[in-house]
């Protein structure tokens, strides 16, 4: 099972130093395609993605969290800290169940 991180260049450096495979994304417009490539790898088990990039790839993130069991998608803060007004995991699950 593989683990990868999708993050801005500064945050991805921290993951690289920790030995985690990382894809640095400079432009938010690239987030959905990078996420799609990572999710299509057969051995991918966990994808860490920064909140800002997850927000930019909104539709792809929603699709993955509601329709797939693997890879597990985990949103993390970037080097600037967590985003304001972020939904908790429980709130996200409740929103998914309401659909």
- Look at residue 36 and give its three-state secondary structure: helix
9: domain range? Answer: 2-98
CATH number at residue 20: 3.40.50.10580
Query: How does pLDDT run across 62-95, given as a tens digit for each residue?
Result: 888 878 789 999 999 888 877 776 666 667 777 7
- What is the tally of structural domains in the chain? 1
Cα–Cα distance for residue pair 98/76, rounded to 1 Å: 24
Contact 67, 38 (CB under 8 A): no
Q: Look at residue 94 in the predicted model and tell me its pLDDT.
A: 78
pTM of the prediction? 0.81
- Any idea what the Cα angle at residue 94 is, between residues 88 and 98, rounded to 5°? 145
Distance of alpha carbon 90 from the chain centroid: 17
């Amino acid at each position: 099972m593989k683990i990868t991180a999708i993050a801005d260049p500064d945050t991805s450096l921290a993951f690289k130093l920790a030995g985690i495979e990382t894809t640095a994304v400079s432009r938010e417009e690239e987030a959905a395609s990078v996420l799609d490539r990572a999710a299509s790898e057969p051995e991918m088990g966990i994808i860490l993605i920064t909140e800002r990039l997850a927000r930019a790839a909104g539709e792809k993130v929603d699709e993955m969290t509601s329709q797939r069991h693997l890879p597990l998608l985990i949103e993390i803060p970037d080097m600037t800290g967590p985003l304001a007004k972020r939904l908790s995991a429980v709130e996200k699950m409740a929103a998914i169940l309401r659909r």
